[in-house]
């Protein structure tokens, strides 16, 4: 058999083509078959690219991807079935329609070809009208699939952009609400941002430590950064004369202040009732309600103990205490960080989860202050 290509592929300069300009790769080691198919394809208005071996076909594809391949099953260097399988495993070529051409018409061969990803079979000897119609049909299907894929990609991009815009707007609204509380409360500047960043860092560190690998996913990490901003949202309902009081609070005032946990959770729960599959609101409720619980069960509002306290609340309890201690030790300058950590070590097993505080101490250099 001749090894030379009848028509070269190197001189073809094909860009985005219409169906009528589509280039079709013909792979057959019989010169007579190539001549017949080439003339049929040209008369149908397509660009024919005939080659006599799988090796040449591979080179042709590397030069320019065809819109369709006519592939003989019986080839000397590699049979058509094997090459089809390779093409379908390659992301670059897997979507190219392949039509087998063969004198073999057994049901087994057709089933094998279709299972490997071929779209059709054309039997020898060739009939011009049949060849033209089958090629035209599959080129149209392929083009529609490409257009649908492009449309889906554009749609996905648009949806992603819109979701990111909505998420940004929601995030801005959440931080605005949180800052309303921050402005009325005796907290450090950037308290909300510090809580969010440190909650995220601690959750991520707990995941990688292996302690909570199953519970803490990437979505969990993203969610806690934002949900933690609402930990004190209930303080919106606390009167200024209590929230901003400089002296010691009375017992009744203490009870009113402590009610911010349940008030915040109650109002977030009303929003959650309208959207029960919102993981952000669910976590925000847990944090708002339980971030003053203590590991030994002496906290409020429910007196929960140990692992009864939701993980998100135990995380925020740690980072919230750290930020508040930095405020309390502000007069110590750079020493505030060390003083805060020393105090927190003493709170392990009392206010704080010992496993979480252990990891927190290991990441102290990365904490946002």
pLDDT more than 90, % of the chain? 57
**Helix (H), strand (E) counts: the chain:** 14, 5
Q: Which residue carries 């070269």 as its tokens?
A: 8
For residue 77, give Cα distances in angstroms to 3, 56, 72, 94, 237: 11, 10, 12, 21, 81
How far out from the chain centre does Cα 43 lie? 48
pLDDT tier, 369 (very low <50, low <70, confident <90, very high otherwise):
confident
The more confidently predicted of residues 17 and 95 is 95
Question: Per-residue pLDDT tens for 139-170?
Answer: 999 888 888 888 888 888 887 777 777 667 77
pLDDT tier, 301 (very low <50, low <70, confident <90, very high otherwise):
very high
* pLDDT score for 184: 66
Q: Which long-range contacts (CB under 8 A, 24 or more apart) does 76-84 make?
A: 76/1, 76/29, 77/53, 78/54, 80/27, 81/112, 81/113, 81/116, 83/27, 83/54, 83/57, 84/113, 84/116, 84/117, 84/118
Question: Per-residue pLDDT tens for 51-94?
Answer: 999 999 999 999 999 999 999 998 888 889 999 999 999 999 99
* pLDDT score for 328: 84
Question: Per-residue pLDDT tens for 240-249?
Answer: 888 888 889 9
Nearest to 71 by CA among 91, 46, 52: 52
Do 325 and 332 touch, CB atoms closer than 8 A?
A: no
Nearest to 368 by CA among 182, 177, 199: 199
Q: 185-366 has which fold?
A: Hypothetical protein af1432 (1.10.3210)
* pLDDT score for 319: 96
- Does residue 223 register a pLDDT over 90? yes
Domain with CATH 1.10.3210.10 in the chain: 185-366
Count of beta carbons in the 10 Å neighbourhood of residue 187:
19
Cα–Cα dist 23/47, whole Å: 4
* pLDDT score for 15: 37
The yes/no answer on whether domain 19-153 falls in CATH 3.60.110.10 is no
Cα–Cα dist 358/355, whole Å: 5
**The residue count for the chain:** 369
Interval 286-298 mean pLDDT:
96
* pLDDT score for 271: 81
pLDDT averaged over every residue in the chain: 87
């Amino acid at each position: 058999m001749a090894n030379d290509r009848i028509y070269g592929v190197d001189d073809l300069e094909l860009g985005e083509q219409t169906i009528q300009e589509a280039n079709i790769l013909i792979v057959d080691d019989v010169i007579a078959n190539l001549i017949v198919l080439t003339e049929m394809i040209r008369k149908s208005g397509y660009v024919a690219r005939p080659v006599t071996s799988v090796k040449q076909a591979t080179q042709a594809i590397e030069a320019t991807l065809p819109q369709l391949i006519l592939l003989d099953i019986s080839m000397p260097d590699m049979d058509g079935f094997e090459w089809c399988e390779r093409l379908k495993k390659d992301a670059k070529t897997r979507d190219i329609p392949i039509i087998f051409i063969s004198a073999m018409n057994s049901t087994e061969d057709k089933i094998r070809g279709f299972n490997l990803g071929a779209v059709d079979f054309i039997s020898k000897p060739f009939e011009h009208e049949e060849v033209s119609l089958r090629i035209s049909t599959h080129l149209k299907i392929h083009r529609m699939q490409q257009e649908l894929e492009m449309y889906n990609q554009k749609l996905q991009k648009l949806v992603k952009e819109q979701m990111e815009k909505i998420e940004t707007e929601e995030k801005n609204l959440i931080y605005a609400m949180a800052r309303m509380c921050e402005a009325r409360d005796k907290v450090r500047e950037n308290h909300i941002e510090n809580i969010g960043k440190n909650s995220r860092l601690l959750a991520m560190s707990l995941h990688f430590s292996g302690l909570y690998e199953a519970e803490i996913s990437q979505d969990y990490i993203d969610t806690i950064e934002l949900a933690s901003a609402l930990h004190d949202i209930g303080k919106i309902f606390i009167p200024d004369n209590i929230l901003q009081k400089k002296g010691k609070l009375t017992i009744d005032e203490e009870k009113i202040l402590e009610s911010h946990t349940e008030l915040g959770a109650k109002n977030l729960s009303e929003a959650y009732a309208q959207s029960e599959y919102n993981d952000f609101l669910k976590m925000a409720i847990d944090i708002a309600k339980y971030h003053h619980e203590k590991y030994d069960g002496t906290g409020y509002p429910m007196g929960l103990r140990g692992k009864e306290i939701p993980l998100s609340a135990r995380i925020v309890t740690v980072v919230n205490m750290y930020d508040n201690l930095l405020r309390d030790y502000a007069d110590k300058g750079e020493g505030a960080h060390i003083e805060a950590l020393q105090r927190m070590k003493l709170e392990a097993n009392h206010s704080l989860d010992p496993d979480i505080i252990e990891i927190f101490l290991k990441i102290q250099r990365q904490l946002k202050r």
